[in-house]
Structure 1
């Protein structure tokens, strides 16, 4: 199928995005990496991808008319382009994020996953993003995340080497950033002051020392829980890939 790319928007720096814009870009990233044989996407396929029940948080119910408005806005910002078939009958859409940003393939997958699900722990993120682009270890993930954090595209709840850290994209609108629970605390090499707690933490003299046995037991339990989460995520992603293949086959057969 011969395609003609109609780029009708100037490239701009990727800034704040609305919830619907993030969902559209996340789906375009995901499908470009997981089902390239059916990419670029038609409007109908994009709507199906936005509203699918797996690997999405929150679940949405966007119609094609809503998505047309979102696509027009993203085209004007140079983040997506319309692609025509040789006959000009079917318009398809692809993202231009590798042109707009300096992201690597792994960073594109990481951002796609964060745009689709929001904040998550490192083990979950590595497992889920790896279905789009290989990320062999948590150390590889931390390296890619550190670069994204330095570019202010990703934020975290603390230093990535600490346990239990969560990460999220940093593309929320100003209105969303002001809501309680939105994580805006830490970028690489720059810590942002958090709001004061209701009660001040105990001083070192007031805290009771923990035994080494308790610390070791807590560490082991955390590691086992992280491994379990990763295994569950792997199973879910396997089911997700099967569902996507079935959806693609059904579209191909006209079911």
Structure 2
């Protein structure tokens, strides 16, 4: 969760328009965000509270969908970053929940997929050479058809190729996590500067 949670409208817009670790990448206005918030409030998925000089918003997914915090963490990452493997989800959701291992992530994903009232995630066909299947959320409807279609492999892949692709996937997930944390820090610093009336902070890297 962000340090300033629940979020103001400005914070929500900044988060939605973040360009790193996002899929899809958005460019929304305050009006767009407010319209979405009003729609979610109508579904009881968002609650509004007054605090300080602005209204703040928090989710109510646990109250509506009746799912545990572990599942909420996984859905959050899938909504922010698009289809992910269980390994990528474990790394990316670390700030919200520290899963013990990939098996525990997969257990919660399977539970989300097999809900009697309707699945919230779906397992996608495994990509050629990949060690893990990716998962996608179903909160906005079925994923694109090209994600559901089983890819056609041009040939067999050895274990070494699969291991290399798996390691690359893990590295990309870790890099995306670091980029997301850096972007969050930049947003926090910008907010602090605004509150202090500082327009720019300069650092002299050559200073003794």
Q: TM-score, normalised by structure 2?
A: 0.79
Task: Find 1:126's aligned residue among 84, 90, 113.
Answer: 90
TM-aligned CA deviation for residue 150 of structure 1: 1.1
Q: How far does the alpha carbon of each residue in 1:77-122 deviate from its partner, in whole angstroms, 9 at most, with x for none? A: 000011101x6x4111110112112322221111001111222223
The match for 1:181 is: 146
TM-aligned CA deviation for residue 55 of structure 1: 1.4
2:133 matches 1:141: no
Q: List aligned pairs for 1:68-107, cutoff 5 A.
A: 68-85=34-51, 89-107=53-71
The match for 1:5 is: none
The match for 2:176 is: 236
Task: Supply the distance in 2 between the matched residues of 1:126 and 1:113 (Cα, whole angstroms).
Answer: 10
Mapped contact 1:113–1:129 kept (Cα < 8 A): yes
The match for 1:4 is: none
Unaligned ranges ≥5, structure 1 = 1-32, 186-193, 198-213
2:121 matches 1:154: yes
Task: Supply the distance in 2 between the matched residues of 1:252 and 1:115 (Cα, whole angstroms).
Answer: 28
Mapped contact 2:120–2:139 kept (Cα < 8 A): yes
Q: How far does the alpha carbon of each residue in 1:32-62 deviate from its partner, in whole angstroms, 9 at most, with x for none? A: x2x2x30111111100000000111121110
Task: Supply the distance in 1 between the matched residues of 2:14 and 2:147 (Cα, whole angstroms).
Answer: 28
Determine helix, strand or coil for the equivalent of 1:227: helix
Task: Supply the distance in 2 between the matched residues of 1:149 and 1:72 (Cα, whole angstroms).
Answer: 28
Moved over 3 A (4+): 177-180
Unaligned ranges ≥5, structure 2 = 200-208
Determine helix, strand or coil for the equivalent of 1:38: coil
Mapped contact 2:113–2:121 kept (Cα < 8 A): yes
2:106 matches 1:166: no
Task: Supply the distance in 1 between the matched residues of 2:50 and 2:15 (Cα, whole angstroms).
Answer: 20
Larger RCO (CA under 8 A, 6+ residues apart): 1
TM-aligned CA deviation for residue 148 of structure 1: 0.7
Determine helix, strand or coil for the equivalent of 1:168: strand
The match for 1:208 is: none
The match for 1:8 is: none
Task: Supply the distance in 2 between the matched residues of 1:253 and 1:178 (Cα, whole angstroms).
Answer: 40
Q: How far does the alpha carbon of each residue in 1:191-242 deviate from its partner, in whole angstroms, 9 at most, with x for none? A: xxx9xx9xxxxxxxxxxxxxxxx8xx71232123212321232133123212
2:30 matches 1:64: yes
